[in-house]
Amino acid sequence: MATPDETKYGFGISLAAIGVLTLVTNVLFLFVFFQRRRMRIPAKYFVANLAFVDILGAIFWTSFSVLAVFEDGWTLSYDVCKLQQFFANFCVLINMHTLLFLSFERTLMIYKPSRHFEIFQRIVLIIAVCAVWIFDVVLSLFPVSGWGEVAYFSNQYQCAMNYDENVRQMHFSTAITFGIPIIFLALCYVLIFIRIKKLRDNMSPEGAMALETNDVASGDTYSARLKRQQMKFQDAGRKRKKPTIGKVVHYTKDGYESNESSTDEEDEKENKSKKSDEGGMKRVYYLSKNDYELVKTYLITTFVVIGLWYPHIIITYVDLYEFNVVISANVIRFLVLMTHVAAFVKPIIYFLHNTNMSTHLKKTFCKRDRYKRIDKKSNKYAENDDEENGVAQTNAEPQA
């Protein structure tokens, strides 16, 4: 049965609008990301990577479907059909795996902030982004390289895997894209909210929620850490000397006999220096409002992306196994539209729900009061931004 023109062109116009919105929202997010220095923290590299991948999806996935609608079928080559299927598969893979990585990043931040600051450095995050790209590109190349068959589906106006030819590939793709990531996503967010509930129950009178108290301050040199490690084991295995009768014997804090020539003052100084070396600086990590908001933002984004994609997966399984169930073409097209919507809805969630990101958006386009100062060394004028050059607030405070 032929599709009515108003239905077909309505679908094409909706798809074209989604493609334009995907380009606008994700380009806007990347513009804010590169314009605002405080947005370019390593923990948000994966969020920027998601925006870049969604732009690729709009160019090489959505646009081809729009062309197929208005050309009344697939008029491009079979290689381009494979290219569209590759980018459709790649986009959903990297979206799910990136959301999984972001949930792990938040979990580590809540449970072990000192370790989080050590691991999530710029070079480490760049390597992680490259590793996710390589992994997902290889997985997306499986159908194109011969494991399964790519076909054009007229009721969807897009190229996709023909799972009737290879059911095992469908099970593998669903497990690696949705099954395993959803299990770990649920585990991470359950652990996060269990931790936050315990922190609220044990909140200090001042209203602060301390995540961790670390005796080793972040930023200590390697030599200082090595010295503390050496102090722990310097007297290991040493035999205790018997005191000589008739002499005044001094003992150290650990119970060993001290040097006979040392005085009480020297022993006291030695004990003080040893205590200061072993103790180091104590640093307390608190849960900040920005960190908690980011947890909720990532959680909402995860629910929305899975909610937009999962109905299409369910319908695909129903269509494959339930021969007696007839699914309307309009229902299938609506579910296909939902999968494309997932590409532009993420930046909207960031800017509407996250206070920090919305503030950066406003400061990118709103005129701010700036004043000029003179650099004494270069005798040149430079603009000063109160927010960027001021002292950055941190959720880790040193204590004596």
The whole-number pLDDT of residue 42 equals 84
Q: Does 22 fall in a domain?
A: yes
What residues make up the domain containing 249?
A: 221-279
Pair (116, 238) in one structural domain: no
| pLDDT digits 0-9 by tens, 342-379 | 999 999 999 999 999 999 999 998 865 443 444 444 44
Residues contacting residue 295 through CB under 8 Å, at least 6 positions apart: 106, 110, 189, 192, 196
Q: How many folded domains does the chain comprise?
A: 2
Q: Does 272 fall in a domain?
A: yes
The whole-number pLDDT of residue 299 equals 95
Pair (242, 316) in one structural domain: no
The whole-number pLDDT of residue 194 equals 93
Long-range interactions of 306-310: CB distance < 8 A, separation 24+: 306/178, 306/182, 308/338, 308/339, 308/341, 308/342, 308/345, 309/92, 309/178, 309/338, 309/339, 309/342, 310/178
Pair (260, 359) in one structural domain: no
CB atoms within 10 A of CB 323: 7
Q: Does 192 fall in a domain?
A: yes
CATH number of the domain encompassing residue 65: 1.20.1070.10
Answer with the one of 279, 301, 320 that is the final residue of a domain.
279
Q: Does 298 fall in a domain?
A: yes
User: How long, in residues, is the chain?
Assistant: 400
Going residue by residue through the chain, which has 400 residues, state the pLDDT in tens, using 9 for 90 and above: 566 777 888 999 999 999 999 999 999 999 999 999 888 888 889 999 999 999 999 999 999 999 999 998 899 999 999 999 999 999 999 999 999 999 999 999 999 888 888 888 889 899 999 999 999 999 998 877 767 788 899 889 999 888 877 788 888 889 999 999 999 999 999 999 999 888 888 776 666 777 887 655 444 555 556 666 666 666 666 655 555 544 454 555 444 444 444 445 445 545 544 444 444 456 778 888 888 899 999 999 999 999 999 999 998 888 888 778 788 888 999 999 999 999 999 999 999 999 999 999 999 988 654 434 444 444 444 444 444 433 334 444 434 3
Give the three-state DSSP class for 152: strand
CB atoms within 10 A of CB 312: 18
Pair (269, 123) in one structural domain: no
Pair (10, 72) in one structural domain: yes
Pair (89, 183) in one structural domain: yes
Strand partners, 391: none
Pair (167, 240) in one structural domain: no
Can you tell me the distance from the alpha carbon of 298 to that of 47, in angstroms, rounded to the nearest whole number?
10
Q: Model's pTM, two decimal places?
A: 0.75
Q: Does 376 fall in a domain?
A: no
Strand partners, 287: none
